[in-house]
Every structure is written in structure tokens, then in C-alpha cells.
Chains A and B, each alone.
Chain A
Amino acid sequence: MLTNKTALLSSVLVTAIITGCDDIDNKSHKKHGDKKDNTEMIDKPDSTKGTAQTFEVSLTNLTFNQPLSPPVVILHDKGYSAFTEGEPASVGLEALAEGGSTSQLINEISAYSGTISYTKGSMIQPGQSITVNVGTDLANPKLTVVSMLENTNDAFTGIGSFDLSNTSMTINGPVWDSGTEVNDERASTIPGPVAGGQGFNSERVEAPNVVTFHQGVITQAGGLADSVLNESHRFDQPAIKITIIKK
């Protein structure tokens, strides 16, 4: 009994060392937890990978009036890609970009056969910041962050497969269009607080149906009478500040 208790305690301590104290909703360690033991990862580092490390990722919403949906912060090997410009979006990315839903993207992450871990953050209001920790046992992980601009049809921001060899840095993320929904700016198709319309719809636009940089929104101020958006919903690049600190 005592032995078990001690083992439990040391396991808790190790987890605390890996994740830091302000860890919120860190799914990566649940994933590692499936392997039963974090201690082993530290004591016997896999030479083909690296020692376990944790990155602290802070995200700041740089827009004026575009709440950012709960972001998914992913550390992964080079085989994974959440999206590629000029290529069709996955259904998981489509659901995130159209409706802010993370469940399908997380299903895709869980189904990936390589090394991957992620943390889901909370919604980020304009001007606000959140900080999440995400762990990995990759020596040189790639970072992907995705989050929807909620008062749009299918705009998202973040960064894709960013090399984390230089551990601590600050980068800005642009606004992409998932290419999966027409940018009609109408209330019925925009899920954010301005409209409360439909989020994810599995129907795809015929063209271009590929991820590109976003063209911006047309608002009432821009002359589109049935746009549900007003001038406050306009945005320019970039939309998110990403600060990465290796713990």
C-alpha cells in the first residue's frame, strides 16, 4: 500500500515537472498516459526521438471583433499536416473553420499513426490571451495551431507545421480560408455571436475547395446590404500572435 502510494506520488511529481503548474486541459499527457508511465520516458529516453519536453504556447487574439474559437495546439512529426495551401481541407479542418468544432479534427489527430500530441485551449476574445502547455517526446517537433474566426463563414488562423528546432520564439499567424464554404457573409451561415447561424455543413463549395489565404469580409459598410457583418468585423493580417517557450 505504502509502495503504491509512493509510486503514485512520484508519478504526480514527474507529471508536474513535465507540464508545469498551469497546465489546462492537456490531452497530450492523456495520450502519453496510455503508455502508462511518463517516468520511463524521462529515465530512458528513446534515442530515435528525444527526451520528453513541454512547450508553453501563448496565443493572443489580434483582431478587433472576431472571437477565436477554442484553438487546437498540436505538436507532431513531419508526416502530419492539418492543412496545406492549395489542397482541399480535411473534414476535421472544415468543421473547425466553419463551426469552431474541434471534435472531428481531434479524431483525425487520434487516428494519425505517427507521433502527435495536442492541447485544446479555451475561446479567445479580441485582445485576450491564453496560455497552454503541450508535451512531446519528439526532439524537433512541428507546431500547428488552428482556430476559427467566429464571425466569418469559414476563416481560420494559426500556423501550420512550424519548425520548433529554435525553441523559443514569437510568430504571427495569418488568416486562411478553408475553401469549404461560400463567403456570403449571411446570418444563416455564420455561427459567431454576430449571427448565430449554421456552423459545419458537410456540403462543399464546387470551387476552389482548397485552403488559401483569406480575401477578407464584405460588410454592410462595404456596400453588401444583406451582409450580417458590420465594419467592426473586418480584419487584416495577422490575426493571432503565437509565443512559444520551451519549458
Chain B
Amino acid sequence: MLKKILLSLASISSLTQAAELEITLTNATQGVYFTPVLLAAHSTPGELFRVGTQASSALEALAEGGSIDAANTNLLNASANIAEGAADAPGASDGPVAPGGSFTVTLTTDDNNPYLSLASLLLPTNDGFVGLDSWKIPETQGTYVINLNAYDAGTEANDELATSIPNAPFVTSFGTPGDSGAVTSGGTGITASGDENARVHIHRGNVGDLDTTGGASDIDASKHRWLNPVARLVITVQ
């Protein structure tokens, strides 16, 4: 009992101390892939993205093409702590995260990095991403569960055409077109999408269709749709 009290006192007093985090991310969608996940602790809100503001070019590259390089560089230059997986593969997730899949990673944060953010392109989408927007890491030890939403970077029209969605190797390798995930082709494009909201916002979802050789969308309506939340994040502050 005394130990517990001492422990909690210690955690209260460690307001600006470094934190030891164990983080598990689960892809809770039925048929949407996450590209390599960028996960970092940083000093001020919005360093990776902020809803209601325009996406940085680094976020645009991440949300349209799945590339975390530019965002990684920006965060490193800002003295952020970036989570790395055990293997020599990109992102905290050591590569993509399949529907229903999960990964666990540890992250040691420095004194002045109290915010946690995460981003990963959702495939297949034009510029949709799963995100955690500058969550304040609690000073109290414990396990915290956060449901994550799908955001739209606001940088690309959601035409849902194969030609404007990254054709990542893992997307083409995990199934035959129209079957277990890969986008099809021959669509005419979802119309009416302008720039009504060119800032980061909640993604309105894919429309999709069931036509593998035509129709409006190249996305499979039976597999590539979702409702928020799209992921579950479990964070243990040790």
C-alpha cells in the first residue's frame, strides 16, 4: 500500500520528466490497410497534423503516398522522439498493418515532448489517414485506450480511381483485384468532390462500388468502407 502511494506520488511529481510508453495499435477495419505508421512524441501541438488546419507538405506526402520520410525528418529536426520497430522496416509498425492486425512498440520520451501523434495512410483511399492529433501524454501511470478516427488530409479530390491511389506492393500482393483488397480499374471516377474543405477534417468515407471493371469507383464497396473509429490505440504509461 505504501509502495503504491509512493509510486503515485512519484508520478505526480514527474510533470516534466521523460516517460516510458508501451503502445499497441490495432487496425480495427475490415478491409483497409495502414501504411507504415509514423508515431512520435513532440513538443508542441500540431507538429504532425492538426484538424481544422491545412496539411503540411510532409503530411500530404504521407496521406497521399504513404511516405513518412519528410514527416520523419521534420520531427527529428524538432527534437521529437520517434518510435521505431524492432525490425529494419519503415515506421513504428515495421511496415504496413493489415486489417485486424496490430503491433506493439515502446517509446521513451524526452522531458519536453509531452504530445503524442500518429499518422498512417489508409489504403485504398486518395488521401485518407488514421491519426492521433497531439494527445497529451498523461502524467499518471496507467493504461489508456483511445479510439482513432479516419481523417482526410484535404489535399486531393476523392475520385477513388486506381490511377490516383498508391499501388503499394503489399496492396497488390495480398489479393487478386476485386477480391481481398486490391483496387480494381476502369472506373469513371467519383465526381462532385472539390475543395469544400481543404483542411484536415474527418474523412467522409469511401463510396466504392461492386463493379470490378467499370462503375464510378475502383474501390470495393463491400470491403473498403468503414465507420469511425478505425483503430484502437492502447498506451501504457510505465
Interface residues of A (CB under 8 A from B): 60-65, 126-129, 221-222, 230-232, 234-239, 241
Chain A contact surface mostly: loop
Give, as a whole number of angstroms, the nearest-CB distance from A241 to chain B.
Answer: 6
**Complex contacts, B106 vs chain A, CB 8 Å:** none
A60 to B228, CA, bound (A): 18
By size class, the interface of chain B is 20 to 34
When the two chains form their complex, are residues A235 and B204 in contact, meaning their CB atoms are under 8 A apart?
A: yes
When the two chains form their complex, are residues A236 and B196 in contact, meaning their CB atoms are under 8 A apart?
A: no
When the two chains form their complex, are residues B154 and A232 in contact, meaning their CB atoms are under 8 A apart?
A: no
Give, as a whole number of angstroms, the nearest-CB distance from B23 to chain A.
Answer: 20
A51 to B228, CA, bound (A): 40
Given contacts A62-B52, A221-B207, whether A232 and B192 have CB atoms under 8 Å apart is yes
In this complex, the member of A63, A129, A235, A236 whose beta carbon has the largest number of chain B beta carbons within 10 angstroms is A236
Given contacts A221-B207, A241-B52, whether A232 and B193 have CB atoms under 8 Å apart is yes
**Complex contacts, B52 vs chain A, CB 8 Å:** 60-62, 127-129, 241
Given contacts A62-B51, A127-B52, A241-B52, whether A234 and B204 have CB atoms under 8 Å apart is yes
**Complex contacts, A126 vs chain B, CB 8 Å:** 196-197, 201
When the two chains form their complex, are residues B202 and A236 in contact, meaning their CB atoms are under 8 A apart?
A: yes
When the two chains form their complex, are residues A238 and B197 in contact, meaning their CB atoms are under 8 A apart?
A: no
Interface residues of B (CB under 8 A from A): 51-52, 149-150, 152, 154, 158, 190-194, 196-199, 201-205, 207, 216, 227-228
Name the CB-closest residue of B to A65: B196
Give, as a whole number of angstroms, the nearest-CB distance from A108 to chain B.
Answer: 30
**Complex contacts, B228 vs chain A, CB 8 Å:** 236-238
Q: How many residue pairs at the A-B interface have CB separations less than 8 Å?
A: 74
When the two chains form their complex, are residues A236 and B198 in contact, meaning their CB atoms are under 8 A apart?
A: no
When the two chains form their complex, are residues A64 and B197 in contact, meaning their CB atoms are under 8 A apart?
A: yes
Give, as a whole number of angstroms, the nearest-CB distance from B157 to chain A.
Answer: 10
A230 to B191, CA, bound (A): 9
When the two chains form their complex, are residues B196 and A64 in contact, meaning their CB atoms are under 8 A apart?
A: yes
A61 to B200, CA, bound (A): 10
When the two chains form their complex, are residues B202 and A232 in contact, meaning their CB atoms are under 8 A apart?
A: no
**Given A64, A221, A231, which contacts B201 in the complex, CB threshold below 8 Å?**
A64
**Given A63, A128, A129, A222, which contacts B202 in the complex, CB threshold below 8 Å?**
A63
When the two chains form their complex, are residues B202 and A127 in contact, meaning their CB atoms are under 8 A apart?
A: no
When the two chains form their complex, are residues A231 and B51 in contact, meaning their CB atoms are under 8 A apart?
A: no
A221 to B191, CA, bound (A): 9
**Complex contacts, B193 vs chain A, CB 8 Å:** 231-232
Give, as a whole number of angstroms, the nearest-CB distance from B216 to chain A.
Answer: 7
When the two chains form their complex, are residues B207 and A127 in contact, meaning their CB atoms are under 8 A apart?
A: no
A60 to B133, CA, bound (A): 14
When the two chains form their complex, are residues A238 and B149 in contact, meaning their CB atoms are under 8 A apart?
A: yes
When the two chains form their complex, are residues B203 and A127 in contact, meaning their CB atoms are under 8 A apart?
A: no
A62 to B202, CA, bound (A): 5
When the two chains form their complex, are residues A230 and B192 in contact, meaning their CB atoms are under 8 A apart?
A: yes
When the two chains form their complex, are residues A232 and B196 in contact, meaning their CB atoms are under 8 A apart?
A: yes
15 A–B contacts, CB within 8 A, in A order:
A60-B51, A62-B202, A63-B204, A64-B196, A64-B201, A127-B154, A221-B190, A231-B191, A231-B192, A235-B202, A236-B150, A236-B202, A237-B202, A237-B228, A241-B51
**Complex contacts, B196 vs chain A, CB 8 Å:** 64-65, 126, 232
A222 to B154, CA, bound (A): 22
When the two chains form their complex, are residues B152 and A64 in contact, meaning their CB atoms are under 8 A apart?
A: yes
A8 to B67, CA, bound (A): 61
**Complex contacts, B199 vs chain A, CB 8 Å:** 127
When the two chains form their complex, are residues B192 and A63 in contact, meaning their CB atoms are under 8 A apart?
A: no
A111 to B52, CA, bound (A): 35
Give, as a whole number of angstroms, the nearest-CB distance from B224 to chain A.
Answer: 14
When the two chains form their complex, are residues B197 and A65 in contact, meaning their CB atoms are under 8 A apart?
A: yes
**Complex contacts, A238 vs chain B, CB 8 Å:** 149, 202, 228
Name the CB-closest residue of A to B204: A234
A162 to B36, CA, bound (A): 37
**Complex contacts, B207 vs chain A, CB 8 Å:** 221-222, 231, 234
A230 to B216, CA, bound (A): 13
Beyond A232-B192, A241-B52, 16 extra complex contacts between A and B, CB < 8 Å:
A62-B51, A62-B202, A63-B201, A64-B202, A126-B196, A126-B197, A127-B201, A128-B52, A129-B52, A221-B216, A230-B192, A231-B158, A236-B202, A236-B204, A236-B227, A237-B227
